[in-house]
Amino acid sequence: MTTSLEALSPIDGRYLRYTASLRPYFSELALFKYRVQVEIEYLIALSEIGLKGFEPFTDSEKAQLRLIYQEFGKDHGAAIKEIEKRTNHDIKAVEYFIKEQLEQLGLGAKMEWVHFGLTSQDINNTAIPLSMKEAAEQVIFPALEELCAELKKLANTWKDLPMLARTHGQAASPTTLGKEIYVFAERIEIQIQQLKQTVWAAKFGGATGNFNAHHVAFPSTDWLNFAHGFVSSLGLSRSRTTTQIEHYDHLAAYCQNMMRVHTILIDFCRDIWMYISMEYFRQRVNPGETGSSAMPHKVNPIDFENAEGNLGIANALLDHFAQKLPISRLQRDLTDSTVLRNIGVPFAHSLISIHSIQRGLGKLLLNESAIAADLNHHTAVIAEAIQTILRREGYPQPYEALKGLTRGNNTIDLPLIHEFIRNLNVSDAVKAELLQITPANYTGIIRFEA
């Protein structure tokens, strides 16, 4: 048996403890299981529409048929792989496997209804979006929501902690640490809402999407209505007009939506990396860990770097899927199938990244004194506040007056600003108002639901 040390990809080796939850959705065994599920449910649905020569299954027979995919395991997957050695076609191998199962259940007389009128992509383009939908809903969305909740908790904890903001890397109007964290929570939350509105589309319509075989065999049957109902029963939406394959526009939209999530998380990782570099945060030291092979003092922000790297890999793949899958030569070429075999890979890198960010957040130790020192060192940031109040009072050229005092002056401090205020030709009340402004209290409106 292959060990994690022998795995070709780190998602099945080094990071298996984070990605194992995706195996029920994206392994080859899982793909076989989903294909079997679609075939079985189609067979049952087909039996219920009154086709000549196809008596409906009894409730007991339906239950037995559903057990084929509900109890699908490694032995079943191995059996399909053995059949595939003969057929050199994985969907045909699934069909033959199901027929063998029907024989064993004493339902061999109905086995020619298996895969009736279908082409491979009726199964693949239904099984794969079903697996993606369930993986997203049961693994990815909960992981993102958990991360979002953690960010909101930190945002609430640090909601009132004043912090120097930076625009273009330069000191700017103060903010609070909590608000800056909440920016990311809100952005991610919006994207999760959009992700949950994803249309999980399936293609189901025969060899070139027109139900040719179905219609020629049973011309009086409303195959369009049947297909809509069948696909809906699986929790999917049937694409109405297709070629041999699903056009993948909705899948591309999901990929692009996930890319936005990942881009937001990359942005977050880089900001936290910068805050650690600025010593706004220190990191909890775990005994036995090494930060650098050469420099014993180092505690590197490896979790956020790991996340950033994995998010980049995920986005590169998702971008390829979004650009490639909606394109196919005429009615179909095989490139979509080749690409879709890797659909679980960006899910895995996404999950690794989320875990890395959570691990990194758990190591953060707030260095409040460094945050306060940086804020107090840049007293000039209250120049905006002073000149705005002076504008309100009709003071002549207030911006220019403050610019002359503060621009490029790294030595300016609060006493110097106070001296400037006292010499202004304004009322004592306005001077008193201006003298109350400090970098720590000039943080604006900080209001969010954490």
Q: Residues 183, 272: contact at Cβ < 8 Å?
A: no
Question: Which phi and psi (to 5°) does residue 49 adopt?
Answer: -110, 15
Ranking 3-12, 97-106, 125-134, 197-206 by mean pLDDT, the lowest is 3-12
Tokens of 4: 């994690």
pLDDT of amino acid 408: 77
**Strands 170-176, 162-167: pairing kind:** antiparallel
Q: How do residues 381-409 score in pLDDT, each as one tens digit? A: 999 999 999 999 999 999 898 888 878 77
Can you give the residue ranges of every domain in the chain?
Answer: 16-116, 121-206+242-367, 378-435
Q: How far apart are CA 232 and CA 215, in angstroms?
A: 21
**Torsion angle of alpha carbons 292, 295, 298, 300, nearest 10°?**
-30
Q: How do residues 418-446 score in pLDDT, each as one tens digit? A: 999 999 999 999 999 999 999 999 999 99
Asked whether the predicted pLDDT for residue 448 surpasses 70, the reply is yes
201's enclosing H/E stretch is strand 201-202
Domain 121-206+242-367 has CATH 1.20.200.10: yes
Ranking 91-100, 240-249, 285-294, 384-393 by mean pLDDT, the lowest is 285-294
pLDDT of amino acid 449: 77
pLDDT of amino acid 288: 63
Mean pLDDT of 213-221: 98
**Number of other residues whose CB lies within 10 A of the CB of residue 50:** 10
pLDDT of amino acid 1: 56
174's enclosing H/E stretch is strand 170-176
Mean pLDDT of 287-312: 77
Specify the higher pLDDT residue, 443 or 449: 443
Q: What is the mean pLDDT of the chain?
A: 95
Q: How do residues 103-156 score in pLDDT, each as one tens digit? A: 999 999 999 999 999 999 999 999 999 999 999 999 999 999 999 999 999 999
The fold of 378-435 is Ribonucleotide Reductase Protein R1; domain 1 (1.10.40)
Q: How do residues 40-69 score in pLDDT, each as one tens digit? A: 999 999 999 999 999 999 999 999 999 999
Q: Residues 244, 208: contact at Cβ < 8 Å?
A: yes
**Strands 237-238, 281-283: pairing kind:** unpaired
Residue 429, judged by CB atoms within 10 A of its CB (0-12, 13-18, 19+), counts as exposed
Mean pLDDT of 219-234: 98
pLDDT of amino acid 294: 52
Percent share of the chain, pLDDT over 90:
89
pLDDT of amino acid 409: 75
pLDDT of amino acid 412: 87
Question: What is the reported pTM?
Answer: 0.93
Helix locations, 7-119, DSSP H: 16-19, 23-26, 28-47, 59-70, 74-87, 90-104
Q: How do residues 146-187 score in pLDDT, each as one tens digit? A: 999 999 999 999 999 999 999 999 999 999 999 999 999 999
Q: Which residues are within 8 A (CB) of 76 and not within 5 positions of it... i.e. 6 or more apart?
A: 32, 33, 36, 68, 97
**Strands 281-283, 170-176: pairing kind:** unpaired
What is the identity of the amino acid at 168? H
**Helical axes 414-422 vs 383-392, angle rounded to 10°:** 20
Asked whether the predicted pLDDT for residue 292 surpasses 70, the reply is no
Active site residues: 168, 292
pLDDT of amino acid 289: 66
Q: How far apart are CA 37 and CA 230, in angstroms?
A: 12
Q: Residues 318, 255: contact at Cβ < 8 Å?
A: yes
Top-level CATH class of 16-116? mainly alpha
Asked whether the predicted pLDDT for residue 301 surpasses 70, the reply is yes
Asked whether the predicted pLDDT for residue 251 surpasses 80, the reply is yes
Q: How do residues 274-291 score in pLDDT, each as one tens digit? A: 999 999 999 988 766 666
Q: How far apart are CA 42 and CA 269, in angstroms?
A: 46
164's enclosing H/E stretch is strand 162-167
Mean pLDDT of 72-98: 97
